[in-house]
A and B are shown apart, each in its own frame.
Chain A
Amino acid sequence: MRLNILIGGKAGQGINKVSEIVSKTLSSYGWFTFNYRDYQSLIRGGHNFNILSISDKWIASHESKVDGIIALDENTSKIHQKELKKDSFVLTEKGFEDLGINLNVALAGALIKILGIEKKFLLDEIKEQFHNSESLEEAEKGYNSQKQKYSLKKLENKMKIINGNEGITQGAINSNMDHYFAYPMTPATEIIHKFATLSEKNNINVVLPENEIAVINMALGANFSGARAMIGTAGGGFDLMTEALSFQGQSEIPLVVYLASRPGPSTGVPTYTSQDDLDVALRAGHGEFPRIVLAPGDPVECTELINQAFYLSEKFNALSLVLSDKHLAESEYSINKPVHNIIKVIESKRKIPQKNGIIKASSYEHDEHGNTIEDSEGIIKGVQRRLKRYEDIKKEVKKFQMIKIHGNKNSKNLIIGWGSTKGAIIDAINSENLDAKFLQVLYIKPLSDEIKEYIEKSKNVILVENNITGQLGRLIREKTGIKIEEKNRILKYDGRPFTSDELKEEIKKRLK
């Protein structure tokens, strides 16, 4: 069973609180949720909404047609009327006009009743989140105002709700990161707040320098003298860091970068989503030097891949980029299996100043002491050393899951995708048990050789990406010579993520 509920209102009215109360209540009731957040780049007013998807089975996406609307303002039901299914419900602020800021609590209570969940689960959650009797009363008032429409049964799943950014934070903590440098930019901003909250307990220094150029250079300076720093940004800030990425290539000071995309070019659409930035992650920075580009597809993978990024950066004095986007970073997922795979980040063999004596790192081509060289033999040595390092990385990453196969493993239909589209693709396949297998690419650089084999073994290859040119598709063509047919590319580039119901129809049209 799966339901989708749209919760809409003006910025500042507390639609996220409704989602939070309801999804946490459902969580303790054993149900899976996925919360998609659609909000504008403004602080008060406008129109924002969430789509809360609810299911008795694991889900990681939302659907385009909804079973109900919770409207905190008049606009919401007008705007979303056409998305309602038959036999759906609309809950408005009517009847709760006098509640003021507690409107969201009452509406959450009302929805819990509609779903047919015992009052106790609601009240426990409210007590957990608020410490006043007023909220409890308003939640109960909301609950009592409705009739039960569904009857969700209590399930025994144990879960927690987290978003991609929290997954990243956890992975960094698992890797003993000690400094986080950043300049605010959606959708990476939230990470600053998360680390700031955790800073005391985990001994993390959160530093907000004057701009992204300072961010990356300070982080490199700190890592040079022995810190384990990470930085985070979105497209525009990443562009400013380009010169320092290249500096990393020459100086070989390890660095982990979290890059969360939004639709570009330029300022683009700040609070919406896209997979526009794969190309720039692969290529930013002049000169030839190794790098690692990883693409988690859900919060658990965020935790695991950030950890692998730290491990590889330390081991190979390398640049690791972990890609996400607004959809993965800020959507809220139910997680029912904890991360079991924490790899210990071993301190690299690289020498640290003071501890190991006098150590020099350089942006010029340099000899083994770090002093500048210009002779051709020396240059050749440097260039070959960097290439060799990439060969070593390629060998090492084989011990990680560079790709994953989901869905029907014997199918001749092969869907290829990466990053935040994972949830919608899997849900699309699962919803009708489609005859398709899904190859999820987690390691974009190095790219797994197995991808070619999978493509060659299948009859029909379908590409799913949240951009207009199919950036992973082009990369696969570059590496394997195989072109995924134009008509088999499902590309979405309206700033919105795929919904699983629409994606399912697109996939079905292309199955053989």
Chain B
Amino acid sequence: MANTIDSIKQKLGTKETITWCPGCPNFLILESVKRTIAELIEESKGKIKQEDFAMSTGIGCHAKIFDYLDISGIYGLHGRTISFAEGIKLGNEKLNVLAFAGDGDTYAEGMEHFIHAFRHNEDITLIVHDNQSFSLTTGQPTPTTQQGYKSKATPQGEKEKPLNPIKLALAAGGKFIARANARNITQTTEILKKAIKHKGFSYVEIVQDCLIFNKEMDNKDSMMYSVENKDKAKAEKLAEEWDYNSKKGKIPIGIIYEE
């Protein structure tokens, strides 16, 4: 089986030169995504093919995945990946649609689409590469950046408190809300598979650091623990456990809520 999965994964790659910084967690996310698709294809025993997937992306470091992943799709606009993905699904409901986004992309530029996506509940999967920074534009703070973050744009340190997107997703009526750790490929793959299998809109927030501009997630593995939860009240507590700011405490990783 491993062999088949490897060969499918091989086909999911392209010949394009990868321009992410060496060691960028986006490589790990790409690997998780390839494994996810490969395993879904393999497990379906011929029912699902590579052509049955489509993606859309925003614009940013995360979005470069478009060039490195050989599935159909739209390399979209900053903040608009959700709309493109919803449209692709409306145009052909047989496609499995993945929307790749950045945190700046989703929580700043395209926030309206994020909130409404839960209500529209199109059967697509949103994957946010949350590196708590506008990286491709050289590291300005986004809505999930920690307080005090220093950048060329905020030499005195970021003043605002970060937004907690998991809480927001719950409030918006999300029916599949998960958080993944980019560094944990096995677990991220499991989460992504469940997200794609979920009927309706699924949202996976992947925390990653940006090696160049914001290494905020670098020393947090020890705070992380796994969850798989279907209880709404508990989901609200889980969402509160980490506020994207604190350096101590617990960070739940896994399915925070599935209805």
What residues make up the interface of A, taking CB atoms closer than 8 Å to B?
179, 205, 207, 209-211, 213-214, 217-227, 229, 243-244, 247, 251, 253, 352-354, 357-364, 366, 370-372
Contact = CB atoms under 8 A, between A and B. Distances in A.
B173 interface: no
A221 B75 contact: no
A209 B14 contact: no
B83 A225 contact: no
23 contacts: A179-B90, A210-B112, A210-B116, A218-B84, A218-B86, A218-B87, A221-B86, A221-B88, A221-B89, A223-B91, A225-B87, A225-B90, A225-B95, A253-B74, A352-B92, A353-B54, A353-B88, A358-B72, A360-B72, A361-B73, A370-B75, A371-B14, A371-B67
B91 A371 contact: no
B92 A225 contact: yes
Contacts of B52: 354
Contacts of A224: 74, 84, 87-88, 91
B90 A221 contact: yes
Contacts, number: 134
Nearest to B80: A217
A209 B83 contact: yes
Interface in B29-74: 50-52, 54, 56, 59, 64, 66-67, 70-74
Given A352-B92, A353-B73, A353-B95, 16 more contacts: A207-B90, A209-B83, A209-B116, A210-B113, A210-B115, A214-B83, A222-B90, A223-B91, A225-B54, A225-B88, A229-B87, A244-B77, A360-B66, A360-B72, A372-B16, A372-B75
Contacts of B152: none
A180 to B, nearest CB: 11
Given A209-B83, A354-B51, A372 B91 contact: no
Contacts of A219: 87
B155 to A, nearest CB: 30
Interface string B174-202: 00000000000000000000000000000
A370 B66 CA distance: 9
Contacts of A359: 72
Contacts of A221: 56, 74, 83-91
Among B51, B64, B71, B90, the one with the most A-chain Cβ atoms within 10 Å of its Cβ is: B90
- Chain B facing A: main interface SS: helix
Interface string B113-126: 10110001000000
A195 to B, nearest CB: 15
B94 interface: yes
Contacts of A364: 75
Contacts of A214: 80, 83, 86, 112-113, 116
B74 A372 contact: no
A229 B73 CA distance: 18
A292 B66 CA distance: 30
Interface of chain A, main secondary structure? mixed
A421 B66 CA distance: 48
A249 B99 CA distance: 22
Given A354-B52, A363-B59, A213 B83 contact: yes
Contact of B74 (A207, A229, A354, A362): A362
B76 interface: yes
Contacts of B84: 217-218, 220-221, 224
Contact of B75 (A179, A226, A244, A363): A363
Given A214-B116, A217-B84, A357-B51, A247 B67 contact: no
A362 B66 CA distance: 9
A360 B76 contact: no
Nearest to A207: B90
Nearest to B11: A358
Given A221-B88, A222-B88, A247 B77 contact: yes
A378 to B, nearest CB: 13
A214 B95 CA distance: 20
A354 B85 CA distance: 15
Contact of B95 (A354, A363, A371): A354
A352 B54 CA distance: 11
